[in-house]
């Protein structure tokens, strides 16, 4: 039985913060996938979602009333010349991994990013010297499967659970990098018709 058959990808809202927080919590408390030490408060998560949506997409994968995963982009750098590059983040509910949800979210995220005229996507991924109970190379393999390539490695730059972890940067080129790129479009400027053409609706 395909449990993802009726999965819907939609734009998140700050009202989703409680459910999103419960997905994120075990990643903070049990893994080095995120380098945060403390689980954000509900208000902090609401603010993060609202702030992201001012410029970038924040998407959730939903089945019925349950959120099974979420993904979003953010600025790769605040410098103006980097406006055509964005950094990705993705988290899947602990009991819903390896079901193809991440691929669905990333494909939707890439479609929105292309509509915004983003040319490159980047993922910053924790990377262990040796796999352990807190960090494996699953994230790297996922991004490779999604067409990302390794472009850089920072050595022993994150410390969590008594261990130094590396960080790798992975890149996926979305566009053709024309000599005169179309301007970056903040997420709120995308029309309802564009979002519907990508397979989901913007929240009112």
pLDDT in tens, 35-59: 999 999 999 999 999 999 999 999 9
Sign of the Cα pseudo-torsion (103, 105, 106, 108, in order): positive
pTM for this structure?
Answer: 0.95
Helices H / strands E in the chain, number of each: 5, 7
Q: Quick one: what percent of the chain has pLDDT higher than 70?
A: 96
| pLDDT of 187 above 80 | yes
Confidence of residue 204 (pLDDT cuts 50, 70, 90): very low
CATH superfamily of 8-197: Gcn5-related N-acetyltransferase (GNAT) (3.40.630.30)
């Amino acid at each position: 039985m395909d449990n993802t058959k009726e999965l819907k990808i939609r734009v998140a809202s700050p009202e989703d913060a409680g459910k999103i927080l419960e997905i994120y919590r075990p990643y903070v408390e049990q893994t080095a996938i995120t380098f945060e030490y403390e689980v954000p408060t509900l208000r902090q998560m609401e603010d993060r979602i609202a702030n992201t949506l001012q410029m970038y997409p924040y998407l959730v994968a939903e089945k019925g009333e349950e959120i099974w995963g979420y993904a979003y982009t953010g600025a790769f750098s605040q410098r103006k010349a980097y406006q055509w590059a964005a950094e990705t983040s993705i988290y899947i509910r602990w009991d819903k991994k390896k079901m193809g949800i991440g691929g669905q979210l990333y494909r939707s995220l890439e479609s929105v990013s292309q509509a915004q005229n983003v040319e490159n996507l980047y993922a910053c991924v924790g990377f262990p010297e040796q796999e352990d109970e807190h960090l494996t190379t699953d994230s790297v393999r996922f991004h490779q499967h999604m067409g990302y390539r390794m472009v850089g490695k920072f050595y022993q730059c994150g410390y969590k659970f008594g261990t130094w972890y590396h960080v790798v940067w992975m890149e996926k080129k979305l566009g053709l990098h024309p000599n005169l790129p179309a301007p970056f479009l903040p997420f709120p400027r995308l029309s309802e018709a564009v979002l519907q053409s990508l397979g989901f609706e913007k929240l009112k």
